[in-house]
Chain A
Amino acid sequence: QSALTQPASVSGSPGQSITISCTGASSDIGGYDFVSWYQQFPGEAPRVVIYNVSKRPLGVSNRFSGSKSGNTASLTISGLQAEDEGDYYCSSFTSTSTLYVFGSGTKVTVL
């Protein structure tokens, strides 16, 4: 069982905005700003799209944005495009001995 809870699936039409939630605890998301989000396509490695809660790596579209409130982090994809379809995972550093936890993953479908 994953330590961070995400919805199994989220869908939207092209051009719309969608938000994926990631709920943890005070020992991880609530306690640190070390929250990151990963995009993964079938058969490929994950790619970081957000780090440090809301920062975008070079080369990542500004349609991706991140935020955090309490023990819940969120990833918003604006202006949804067909190329955004894939799986998305959140991750956080944690004060427990596990150190890093991932979310259960969310499948994004573009209708």
Chain B
Amino acid sequence: QVQLQESGPGLLKPSETLSLTCTVSSDFTNNYYWSWVRQPAGKGLEWLGRIYNSGNTNYNPSLKGRITMSVDTPNNQFSLKLRFLTAADSAVYFCARIGLADAFDVWGQGTMVTVSS
């Protein structure tokens, strides 16, 4: 069973850039989309973006161009960069695989990110 693990800093300041990496245990070279989803404390889930193994990306327009995703196939990883952080970006960030029928079928455990001065 494929496993996902997020890594990255937990505390950043306003206006800084968040960089997170998701390491995939297996199946990374197969034909899947890989995604980031976030969840502010006590709130619901928000889809941020997806990337294919080829590097093709789609982003949530609500992020207004602040997001970039990339893949590192030799290391079975994909990454998220989110620029110009504000307190509203504080959340638990999950990486997830998009599987059959566009369902998020495998999730990482999540990593908490706090944006505070």
Chain A interfacial positions (CB closer than 8 Å to B):
2, 32-34, 36, 38, 44-48, 51-52, 55, 57, 89, 91, 93, 97-105
Contacts and interface: CB of A to CB of B under 8 A. Distances in A.
B75 interface: no
Contacts, number: 65
A89 B47 contact: no
A38 B58 CA distance: 22
A43 B86 CA distance: 23
Contacts of A47: 107
Nearest to B92: A45
Contacts of A97: 61
Nearest to B50: A99
Per DSSP, chain B at the interface is mixed
B112 to A, nearest CB: 10
Contact of A89 (B44, B100, B109, B110): B44
Interface of B: 35, 44-47, 50, 58, 60-62, 94, 99-105, 107-110
B105 A45 contact: no
B105 A48 contact: yes
Contacts of B105: 48, 51, 57
Nearest to A103: B44
A2 B102 contact: no
Contact of A48 (B47, B62, B103, B110): B103
Given A97-B61, A98-B60, A45 B101 contact: no
17 contacts: A2-B44, A33-B101, A34-B102, A36-B104, A45-B107, A45-B109, A45-B110, A47-B107, A89-B44, A91-B45, A98-B61, A100-B47, A100-B50, A100-B102, A102-B44, A103-B44, A104-B44
